[in-house]
Amino acid sequence: MRSANKKKGLSLDIFWTDKDAVRTVESTACFFYPVSEKTLYRKIGVPVDPLSVVSRGNRKISAVSALLLTCGGEEFTLENVHSPLVAANGANMLRFDDALADINGYGAAFILHDNVWGTNFPLWYEENAAFSFNLRRSGEVAD
């Protein structure tokens, strides 16, 4: 995690090197548990309430560019630079039911790597990887 005097907010960088290929299913996620009264997704530049996803829509996993958080009356943006897939109520990302996920109470998991479904990620991943997250007050521009 880094915060420089010239930069506003906090940044979290996650990286791994020399990862061994694992011949079984695996998933790596970064969990955030914000104390938030309200959480919105930013999808294609538009705020979307995860609690308004239609029935039979994907209420568990979405591709987003940021989480928009309201905490103590202040608004914050948690930007995910390299990992767009987020699972609301992250601990239950593989629970396939039609219930709305409680992102405000149970947080969110950004999926960094996942070969459970055999889509979008290599089956035997053994590459280096890097991911960045930026947290700042909404309206503040990162330097």
Distances (CA, A) of 117 to 99, 113, 120: 21, 11, 9
Q: What does the block give as tokens for 93?
A: 């990302």
Residues 97-140 pLDDT 10s: 888 877 877 789 999 988 877 666 677 788 899 999 999 998 76
Residues 76-88 pLDDT 10s: 999 999 999 998 8
pTM of the model: 0.85
**Residue 7: what pLDDT?**
63
Residue 14: CB atoms within 10 A of its CB come to 16
Pairing mode of beta strands 85-88, 108-114: antiparallel
Asked if 18 contacts 128 with a C-beta cutoff of 8 angstroms, the reply is: yes
User: Which has the closest alpha carbon to 27: 101, 106, 104, 109?
Assistant: 109
Return the percentage of the chain with pLDDT > 90, whole number.
43
Q: What does the block give as tokens for 7?
A: 């930069």
What's 43-73 look like in SS3?
Answer: ECCEEECHHHCCCCCCCCEEECCEEEEEECC
User: Which has the closest alpha carbon to 103: 52, 46, 21, 36?
Assistant: 36
* Residue 44 banded pLDDT, cuts 50, 70, 90: very high
Residues 56-73 pLDDT 10s: 888 888 899 999 999 989
The arithmetic mean of pLDDT across residues 83-96, rounded, is 80
